[in-house]
Structure 1
Amino acid sequence: MAADQALPVDAAPTSGAVPFVATTWQIRLGSGMIPLAHAAGQNLVTVLGLRFMTDSLAISAGTAGLIFALMKIYDGITDPAVGAWSDRAQTRWGRRLPFLFAGGLAMPLGVAMLFGTPDFGSVLLAQAFVTLALVIHATGYTLLTIPGFAMLVESSSDPKERTRLMAWRTYGNAVGTLLGSTLPAWILGMTGPSREGHLLIALITGAIVFGATLVAVRLLRDAPRTQPDPAALARRAHPLRELGRQVRLAWGNVPFRILAIAHVFLLFGTAIGSAALAYFTRVFLELPDSAIGTYFMMATVTMVLAMVPWVWLSNRFGKKASYIAALAMFALVQLSWLLAGPGESMVLVSIRGLVSGAAGGGMILSAYSLLSDAVRYDYVQSGERREGAFAGFTTLFDKLSSAAALAAMGGFLGAMGYVSSSGGGAVAQGDSARLAILLCESAIPALAMLCAIVAMLFYRLDPDTLEALEAKRSAGSRS
């Protein structure tokens, strides 16, 4: 597709498409800036948030994990509501852009509040403050992710172009991961894990999130968009009844159901692995925080470089096969941590980062590309534009699985005797706590990937089937 060619706008009668046109490069770049923004803000909290709460605010591991889990549940519950709201919204800027802008404001505020938590002299007050900060952060994340994914589905009816857009989203996610994990870890390596150092990385990351959001809104303001289905606008059901309708909608889409189950296991494993890494490098490997930054830098570089081969593999062997291969690769690299020990060579840490990044790129690309097909399948089956609702449920499953992962990890660490502190530095941990950290970084994520692979064996929707259904629907519309 030529760089200056506009992406097609669906012309189905129910789409209500408006004749806005943006060039392909604008849509692809804009699609990449959205995940850059939310990945930067999310990775900072995911990688360092739990450890900041236990090692700098003296919040117990079990309580910290529970707070994170409750926020994830809150975040997940609001996802379908935001998705349906954005499906029905009618503004001069379209359905999605106002949500993106609001998310770009809320997420940096939540990050700054979390890592800038004042010294209240009371653990209870600190717990209340970080809970509020995480609520604001989670709300911003939802406002960015739900409309962002829905806009991707709206932008093209071509499955291959949606795969390319997913590649751009993966590029953005990779850069956001770099800016939200590598850069903060390196800064902490220089400043030390003080409260001032954590506030500094929060302010820098918040500025990145807001700036990337502004760029995305500017690039996507003329992207192909669809208007709400008049029937959907006419429905004003009670929120709980509407949520029940959306649950039935998502569960009735068999391809989406299977992908959601696999996605739950994927997110469970990656959430535990990411949160445990900050503990693992400090307590088990006895390495400085800069090691985390180096690991994620290697992972990010490989994630970006691996996009071209993963797109080729997806087109050559199918999205399902590529997804399973990426899951297996990630499981193996996590299991390799069982062979690591104190003073681990940074060469081996870096190699693991490289392989993990390659696997992560394949998982992200394949998972969301398949999910876009499943959402498109709903449209060709029903004729209704419900991208936002499905995007909401996609992230709902993400949040619930992450909530379960963080709650399980916090409870596991607490039960195994992890000692919290307020000094920000390393505290001597017992053998049982060290074993818990090792398992959270290795065996548990690998087992989760295996469960995702088993779920994917039941997935049946392929591009040829979807293309045939689209052709049948188009023929029916013309007749």
Structure 2
Amino acid sequence: MIGNNPHKKLTRFEGLSFASGDLYGGGAQTMIAFFYLRFLTDMVGLQPGLAALIIAISKIWDAVSDPLMGVITDNTRSRWGRRKPWFLVGFFAIIIAMFLLWLPVQFENTSFRAAFVLFSYLFYSTVQTIIMVPYSAMSAEISMDYEERNFVNGSRLLFSQLSTLLAAVLPLTIVSAFADARIGYNVMALVFGVFYALPFLLIFLICNERVPEPGEKARFDIRLFVKPLKLRSFRLLIAMYLGAFLMMDIISAVFTYYMDYFLLRPKELEYVLGTLLIVSTCLVPLVIYLANRLGKAKSFFIFLAVWLLGIALISQVNTNWPNWSIYVIAAIMGIGTTGGIVTPWIMYPDVTDVGELVFGKRVSGSFSGLMTFFRKLSGALAIFIVGQILQFAGYRIPIQEMTGGKLVVTKFLQPESVIISLRLIVAVIPLFLLGVVFFAARRYPLTRELHTRLVNVLKFKRGEQPETPAIKADEEELIRVLA
């Protein structure tokens, strides 16, 4: 069993083992984004506005738990390091959390159903925090080499995209294999719970932490949570990250309704999502290559342009277009989505280096706490926005009846106000968010050349190389430009 080993060379096997943790990071969030609101309205029987409100309430807890976990993981001291003990805890917790999250309770009282959903989502959100905050922090500490980091974090997104594909295609396939959808959801939750949990046991056993532990422990202080936001580089990264994921999550939350009630092709949902995500998965190596070749910000613009084209097309498609057109649009959206969600995570470790320069110590846990919080905020905001719009538009939840000991769900035709709302959600909101992301990306200052100089300054400050006049001048300029 491997603990903290700052000087051990990163092997491909170790890098890929660590990257496999994003099977959970990408897949579980995708299942929630695509299917959870529909699960709550059509299986649990909650009104979309109430379901969305429950998810929004949980963000109050996230605002506390995410920064708290950042400080806890920064302060953890063990024979295995600061991050890895939490992965062993997470191995067991993920399975339980997934089962509870997708348990289709059938209480007669709506308040009881709402209370259970709130409890299960809060528990799931807490488990995600316990795992993903240390995991995100360790992604900046598994190597200090620029290209090794790109390999690890690019591989993370490759695993994430693969898991996203499986999470989009398989859940409803598993559920539909059972005559009773309730049993189908139980089996689906257990299968994916085990699938998401296993990588963290592997990381605990295989991977090294390569940044020395600071001698002084941090105190929990809400100011530590907001401290990374003092950095201009990090604020711009958060704007890019939150905008891109919120855009993706809104389209994801509404898409199952869109395919069912507007395009009238519900049975093709998994195939359309599969097309989008297969393209996304295949293009992750291209994102890494362009980030290394052109720079991360420049490559980001290329994918934003493709994403814009996809959004424009999906906002115009209707039932009169050829059947194959939705698959072409899905492929175009897949290209844009890949760069939009992969690139910010490739940028993230570099920004934690800026934090070390400015703050005088490495507090990756605080950075990752914010990243985890904003990622969960994105998913919750998407469900809240879509749910409230559908509620206001008059969405009619299906009727559930027990027939022959089996649960039968009967859907209604939706009013025209719901159909119009679906079209507005996939067109207007994503275009606005794309503008925000473009604005932030234009101002992102950290280039590859600046990062090389930054690493040299950090090596001097850690005592790994002697001071030179150039390093002193670089330190002052880097703080001015990046902070």
TM-score by length of 1: 0.88
1:435 is aligned, of 411, 414, 420, to 420
Contact 1:54 1:422 in 2 (8 A): no
Contact 1:112 1:206 in 2 (8 A): yes
In the superposition, relative to structure 1, how do residues 435 and 92 fare at CA in structure 2: closer, same or farther (>3 Å)?
same
1:108 aligns with 2:95: yes
Contact 1:189 1:288 in 2 (8 A): no
1:229 is aligned, of 196, 200, 214, to 214
Query: 1:465 — aligned with what?
Result: 450
**How far 1:356 moved relative to its partner?**
2.3
Query: 1:244 — aligned with what?
Result: 223
Contact 2:66 2:133 in 1 (8 A): yes
SS of equivalent to 2:80: coil
Query: 1:421 — aligned with what?
Result: 398
Query: 1:11 — aligned with what?
Result: none
Query: 1:68-110 deviations in whole A, cap 9, x for unaligned?
Result: 1222442343212112211110122211112223233323322
Query: 1:13 — aligned with what?
Result: none
d(CA) in 2 for partners of 1:22, 1:471: 19
SS of equivalent to 1:306: helix
Query: 1:261 — aligned with what?
Result: 239
1:389 is aligned, of 354, 359, 366, to 366
1:404 aligns with 2:370: no
d(CA) in 1 for partners of 2:111, 2:352: 43
Query: 1:353 — aligned with what?
Result: 330
In the superposition, relative to structure 1, how do residues 230 and 178 fare at CA in structure 2: closer, same or farther (>3 Å)?
same
Query: 1:283-310 deviations in whole A, cap 9, x for unaligned?
Result: 1122234x23222322232222212222
Pairing 1:152-191 to 2, within 5 Å after superposition: 152-191=139-178
SS of equivalent to 2:324: helix
2:433 is aligned, of 427, 436, 448, to 448
Query: 2:200 — aligned with what?
Result: 213
Query: 1:110-139 deviations in whole A, cap 9, x for unaligned?
Result: 221232233111111111111111111111
1:126 aligns with 2:113: yes
Contact 1:102 1:140 in 2 (8 A): no
Which ranges in structure 2 are unaligned for 5 or more consecutive residues?
401-408, 467-483
In the superposition, relative to structure 1, how do residues 212 and 245 fare at CA in structure 2: closer, same or farther (>3 Å)?
closer
Kindly provide the amino acid, as one letter, of the partner of residue 364 in structure 1.
I
Query: 1:9 — aligned with what?
Result: none
d(CA) in 2 for partners of 1:71, 1:435: 29
1:272 is aligned, of 250, 256, 259, to 250
d(CA) in 1 for partners of 2:442, 2:362: 29
Contact 2:24 2:163 in 1 (8 A): yes
Pairing 1:299-318 to 2, within 5 Å after superposition: 299-318=276-295
Kindly provide the amino acid, as one letter, of the partner of residue 303 in structure 2.
A
In the superposition, relative to structure 1, how do residues 245 and 217 fare at CA in structure 2: closer, same or farther (>3 Å)?
closer
In the superposition, relative to structure 1, how do residues 101 and 292 fare at CA in structure 2: closer, same or farther (>3 Å)?
farther
d(CA) in 2 for partners of 1:467, 1:97: 29
Contact 2:228 2:355 in 1 (8 A): no
In the superposition, relative to structure 1, how do residues 343 and 51 fare at CA in structure 2: closer, same or farther (>3 Å)?
farther
d(CA) in 2 for partners of 1:45, 1:412: 18
1:196 is aligned, of 170, 175, 183, to 183
- Tell which deviates more after alignment, 210-219 or 52-61: 210-219
2:51 is aligned, of 64, 73, 84, to 64
1:377 aligns with 2:364: no
In the superposition, relative to structure 1, how do residues 75 and 104 fare at CA in structure 2: closer, same or farther (>3 Å)?
farther
d(CA) in 2 for partners of 1:319, 1:334: 23
Query: 1:281 — aligned with what?
Result: 259
In the superposition, relative to structure 1, how do residues 93 and 425 fare at CA in structure 2: closer, same or farther (>3 Å)?
farther
In the superposition, relative to structure 1, how do residues 323 and 57 fare at CA in structure 2: closer, same or farther (>3 Å)?
same
1:29 is aligned, of 16, 28, 33, to 16
What is the RMSD of the two structures over their aligned residues, measured on CA atoms? 2.3
Query: 1:426-453 deviations in whole A, cap 9, x for unaligned?
Result: 3211111111122223332232122111
In the superposition, relative to structure 1, how do residues 151 and 56 fare at CA in structure 2: closer, same or farther (>3 Å)?
same
Query: 1:144 — aligned with what?
Result: 131
In the superposition, relative to structure 1, how do residues 104 and 272 fare at CA in structure 2: closer, same or farther (>3 Å)?
farther
In the superposition, relative to structure 1, how do residues 193 and 49 fare at CA in structure 2: closer, same or farther (>3 Å)?
farther
d(CA) in 2 for partners of 1:62, 1:70: 12
Kindly provide the amino acid, as one letter, of the partner of residue 151 in structure 1.
M
SS of equivalent to 1:137: helix
Contact 1:264 1:397 in 2 (8 A): yes
**How far 1:18 moved relative to its partner?**
3.5
- Tell which deviates more after alignment, 134-143 or 439-448: 439-448
**How far 1:166 moved relative to its partner?**
1.6
**How far 1:31 moved relative to its partner?**
2.6
Contact 1:115 1:195 in 2 (8 A): no
